Amino acid sequence: MNPMQRITGLLILEVRNSNPNGDPDRESDPRQRADGRGEISPVSFKRKVRDLIEDKTGSAWAELSKRFTPTLPAEEFEILESRGRDRVKLAKEAVEGTFAPKYWDARLFGATFLEKDKGSHIRTGVCQFGLGLSLAAVEVTRHTLTNKAGVEKDLDRGMAPLAFRVVQHGLYAMPFFVNPSTAHRSECTQRDVDLLLHALPYAYSNNLAMNRAGISPVHIHVLTHTNPLGSFNDFAAIDALTPKRKGSNPLAASVSLADYDFPDVSTALLPFAGKVTPRDLAL
């Protein structure tokens, strides 16, 4: 097994007439902060990745697992955060030592399911995603949905007022980090990380929904450090690769990718020469 490598990553996601992350406190409006910029929570994005890996009968798992030699065994890549988990059973697995070898997302992201049972749970994972934040303000459109056949009794048609809530256009940047220093605690391996990297390009395209059909990664920057403890400043590299909004108003909502300046990767990473191995996993 190859030793785990430290990674600084940056997802650049384009959103077109879609809701990348609904806010339950605002009737599922796309998440926004006070300055109008949109947000995608780390939990929301990790859910998309988990869903890809959880469906062992789906085409995504079939394709991703066979990219490894030998093919990944399904029983070692179950998802802890699935519906209906039996916590008594989980506690028993933790005591028996079968917990970490079984749940891929626990090894990778960490878990606090068994916090009361000291010594039998994983608190901190190897991989952490940061907040996804749009590079400019986003404009939200709301429409009423109609249905020819009403759901309620005695109604021959149905309406859901302002139920379709989407961002017209936005470009979001979401950082992520792989920290080998905690791998021994969760029993995470480079194979676990590699599966995540293989899944990233398909997180949205293979998890489509009515109001989430237009989200696509423009870039998936993966910067591998030459030193397992870190060979460059994470923020400096992220800032160097983050696109900038054109024009005199950096917060003005965009209408297309043409409204942004994208850095040339080779030029942007010159200050990190000899310290990083870069890849872009976007399709």
What is the mean pLDDT of the segment spanning 162-176? Answer: 96
What is the mean pLDDT of the segment spanning 38-45? Answer: 98
With cut-offs at 50, 70 and 90, classify the pLDDT of residue 114.
low
What pLDDT does 33 receive?
97
Let me know the angle formed at the C-alpha of 80 by 77 and 81, rounded to the nearest 5 degrees.
130
What pLDDT does 133 receive?
98
Q: Report how far residue 54's alpha carbon sits from residue 60's, in angstroms, rounded to the nearest whole number.
A: 10
With cut-offs at 50, 70 and 90, classify the pLDDT of residue 120.
low
Q: Report how far residue 21's alpha carbon sits from residue 209's, in angstroms, rounded to the nearest whole number.
A: 12
Share of the chain above pLDDT 90, in %: 81
Q: How many helices (H) and strands (E) does the chain have?
A: 9, 12
Residue 122 makes CB contacts below 8 A (sequence gap 6+) with: 99, 100, 106, 107, 110, 111, 185, 186
Alpha-carbon distance values, 77 to 49, 55, 191 (Å) = 12, 11, 11
What pLDDT does 157 receive?
64
Is 171's pLDDT higher than 70? yes
What pLDDT does 119 receive?
53
Q: Is the dihedral of CA 213, 219, 223, 224 positive or negative?
A: positive
What is the mean pLDDT of the segment spanning 206-223? Answer: 96
What is the mean pLDDT of the segment spanning 248-263? Answer: 98
Q: What per-residue string of b and e applies to 247-283 under the rule 16 or more CB within 10 Å gives b? A: eeeeeebbeeeebbeeeeeeebbeebeebbebeebee
What pLDDT does 3 receive?
79
Is 150's pLDDT higher than 60? no
Share of the chain above pLDDT 70, in %: 92
What pLDDT does 50 receive?
97
Phi, psi angles (nearest 5°) of residue 65: -70, -30
Least confident segment among 12-16, 125-129, 158-162, 205-209: 158-162
With cut-offs at 50, 70 and 90, classify the pLDDT of residue 208.
very high
The secondary structure of residue 182, as a DSSP letter, is G
Q: Structure pTM?
A: 0.93
Average pLDDT, the chain: 92
The secondary structure of residue 123, as a DSSP letter, is -
The packing angle between helices 190-199 and 42-54, to 10°, is 100
What pLDDT does 124 receive?
83
Q: Is the dihedral of CA 19, 23, 29, 32 positive or negative?
A: negative
Q: Cis omega before residue 70 (within 30°)?
A: yes
What pLDDT does 64 receive?
98
With cut-offs at 50, 70 and 90, classify the pLDDT of residue 233.
very high
What is the mean pLDDT of the segment spanning 69-80? Answer: 97
